[in-house]
Amino acid sequence: MDFEKNISLRKLNTFGIDVKCKLYCKVKSVEEVISVINSEEYKNNSHLILSGGSNVLFLKDYEGLIIQNEIKGKEIIEEKSESTILRVGAGENWHQFVLWSIKNGLSGLENMALIPGNVGASPMQNIGAYGVEVKDFIVSVEGVNLDTKKSFILKNSDCNFEYRDSIFKHELKEKIIITHVNFELSKTPINNTKYGAIKEEIRSLGLPVSAESICKAVINIRTRKLPNPEVIGNIGSFFKNPVISTSDFLKTQKQFSEIVGYKVSETETKVAAGWLIDQCGWKGYRKGDAGVHKNQALVLVNHGNATGEEIISLSKEIQQSVKNKFEIDIHPEVNIIG
């Protein structure tokens, strides 16, 4: 196993934070994972698993071992009459996998096209977009427990999936490496267009509703709305949309009639954090190289040389202003590596 020393992480995190790590290695198979966890480099250092780096914020140099997961492969493991079960390597690029699934007549993931990052990180925060969450298509998650060195398979119901949350962000945080994710995708088109903007976009493209046209519409909408990390450093939504009691939501709505919220259960409402932040006047704000995107207030950006500390300090000011104005707490979605 090759370990590199003192490498720059700037190109390995989409925020483009200019930090280094003490040790770095890539793993391309389960055997290589085992070989790393048996190494002196692993035993003598803290560790972090990194995939596409599109949901991490480094506050400083990482004084440990970064293990980048590059396990590839897509394999059909079961054909059913209505669906196909696939086993996909954690290191496969998410968007390429979505395109591949559509090309192979499998439906379900098209609403989540163009989400950056890799397959192995998708269960971490139960990625979601345009009315769909990945938990609806995950059968199970495979990995290696880094303490016991044993392989495990966790079925969907044991992953504690919630909105932008799972067991991997809590009980299993830093204790495992996800090596494969098993998905069940539909052989008949699902055609989920309940997110209004998709329908409008497909209509304006003049296309019939299909997995392909939904994918195209999502790509178009996302390209218009979200900044490209290749152009300006960001990790997508910096905060989660807060879920509050519907009675609190209705109280706030009396004062702020335009507040944007979506009913998530009989008693709870999810509030658009982008709207809250926007109302506090942050959109387009810039202090040094840390800023808030000019079109989407939920996205914090690095204009070039912002440090992780500068981004986090801006995020705290934003949280406080939202709290002061609306009495609502907003929490980071990003994984902060301190």
Hey, which residues are catalytic here? 164, 237, 333
d(CA 331, CA 51): 23
Q: Is 14 in the site for ligand FAD (CB under 6 A)?
A: yes
Contact 130, 64 (CB under 8 A): no
Give 64 or 274: the residue with its C-beta nearer to ligand EPU: 274
Q: Closest approach of Cβ 176 to ligand FAD, in Å?
A: 6
d(CA 247, CA 252): 9
Q: Is 298 in the site for ligand EPU (CB under 6 A)?
A: yes
Among all chains, which residue has been given the structure tokens 């938990």?
135
Query: H or E element: which one contains 324?
Result: helix 308-326
Q: Is 94 in the site for ligand EPU (CB under 6 A)?
A: no
Considering only the stretches 4-12, 37-45, 269-277, 316-324, report the one whose residues sit in contact with ligand EPU under the rule CB under 6 A.
269-277
Provide the 3-class DSSP secondary structure of residue 35: helix
Q: Which of 129, 185, 314, 318 binds ligand EPU (CB under 6 A)?
A: 129
d(CA 145, CA 34): 10
- DSSP string computed for 83-130: EEEEEEETTSBHHHHHHHHHHTT-BSSGGGTT--SBGGGTTTTT-EET
Q: Is 182 in the site for ligand FAD (CB under 6 A)?
A: no
Q: Closest approach of Cβ 118 to ligand FAD, in Å?
A: 4
Structure tokens at 100: 């591949």
Query: Binding partner of residue 268 among ligand FAD, ligand EPU, none, CB under 5 to 8 Å per kind?
Result: none
Q: Which of 7, 190, 260, 328 binds ligand EPU (CB under 6 A)?
A: 260
**Sheet with 300-302, side-by-side order of all strands:** 286-287, 290-292, 300-302
Among all chains, which residue has been given the structure tokens 């440090």?
307
Q: Is 240 in the site for ligand EPU (CB under 6 A)?
A: yes
Pairing of the two strands 138-145 and 151-155: antiparallel
Q: Which of 274, 306, 315, 330 binds ligand EPU (CB under 6 A)?
A: 274
Q: Closest approach of Cβ 285 to ligand EPU, in Å?
A: 11
Q: Closest approach of Cβ 45 to ligand EPU, in Å?
A: 30
Query: H or E element: which one contains 322?
Result: helix 308-326
Query: Binding partner of residue 275 among ligand FAD, ligand EPU, none, CB under 5 to 8 Å per kind?
Result: ligand EPU
Where does this chain bind ligand EPU (CB under 6 A)?
A: 129-130, 225, 236-237, 240-241, 260, 272, 274-275, 278, 283, 296-298, 333
Where does this chain bind ligand FAD (CB under 6 A)?
A: 14, 48-56, 69, 90, 115-118, 120-122, 124-125, 127-129, 177-178, 226, 229, 234-236, 335
